[in-house]
Structure 1
Amino acid sequence: MTPARLRRFMNLWPPFLFAGIRVLEIAGDWRHARVALRRHWYNRNYVGTHFGGSLFAMTDPFWMILTMQCLGREYIVWDKAGEIEFVAPGRADVFADFRIDEAMLAEIRAATANGEKYLRWCETPVVTANGEVIARVRKQIYVRRKREASAPRTDGATRDDAS
């Protein structure tokens, strides 16, 4: 799947569509994504601010997806945990940016080189257009190099013979 196709799919995906969440961009190299949550009557809470579940949902899959795509098929990547800190009432449209750099990928590759699992926390501020922080979201991803990609075969066969 291409980043553009995933963006279009996610914008039609009912949990995002009906919460007012829009994926604005997924970079062609899978290193960046930008998401918006528009404020509507149907995604406000009892006191008229953004519903906390929508704020969390707008950040939910992106660290896992971007990391998985950047590392490639030799790795297993899952969401492991998440937390959100509400900083200020959300009374305007809000945005979240996700960026993966080479240092993060090198850290993960080094930690998983021998097949060990690695747990990494990734942080994302949710901000208004003028930069006011509304919430801070932390997601923990689980990463492990697949066994067949990290361990040598003990039966004398090569990976190509295993098909």
Structure 2
Amino acid sequence: MTRPHDKLQTIVRAYQQICAGEEPWIALGNFRSAWYGYAKDIREQLVCEPLMQPVEETEHTRKWAAFCAASVEFLCDRYSVACPAWTREARYRLTAPWWHTKHIYHIATRVQLMQTTPEPFARCNIFCGNRLFQNKYEMSEWVQEARARGLKSPGEIWQYARQKEISIHGG
């Protein structure tokens, strides 16, 4: 018998899929759909279990394990969910910086990433900026909220929603 939470796209499931060859952004996108959408009332269940080390660890799996741990820490902080202790294990700290950009050799890009990357990612030596966890669910809610407050101009509505986003996720 399948329990309802067996089908949840937990961070453990996302990481297992990445290790099995799934495109990381697909697996993490499915996790984000759970976090922001259908499982937002049970977020702790999505992140409580630690990642299992793959049978064959590679640079790819180490990077994405660190990314998953930093993501959990970031999201738990932003949404007032108790952050599981496993995210702070030393194995999730990369020894060399991971510049998550196509422009790795541009110094200005690196500087910008160092200035804008949220602390949980920077602590793991991942530099990715602060726009990774924007989501359509919240943006839609904020647009509706702006309209309920009487804002009518598309520019004003966008500005209201953007300010809400900045207050939660940063610039």
TM-score, normalising length: structure 1:
0.31
Q: Max radius of gyration: which structure?
A: 1
Structure richer in helix, relative to its length: 2
TM-score, normalising length: structure 2:
0.30
Higher relative contact order (CA 8 A, sep 6+): 1
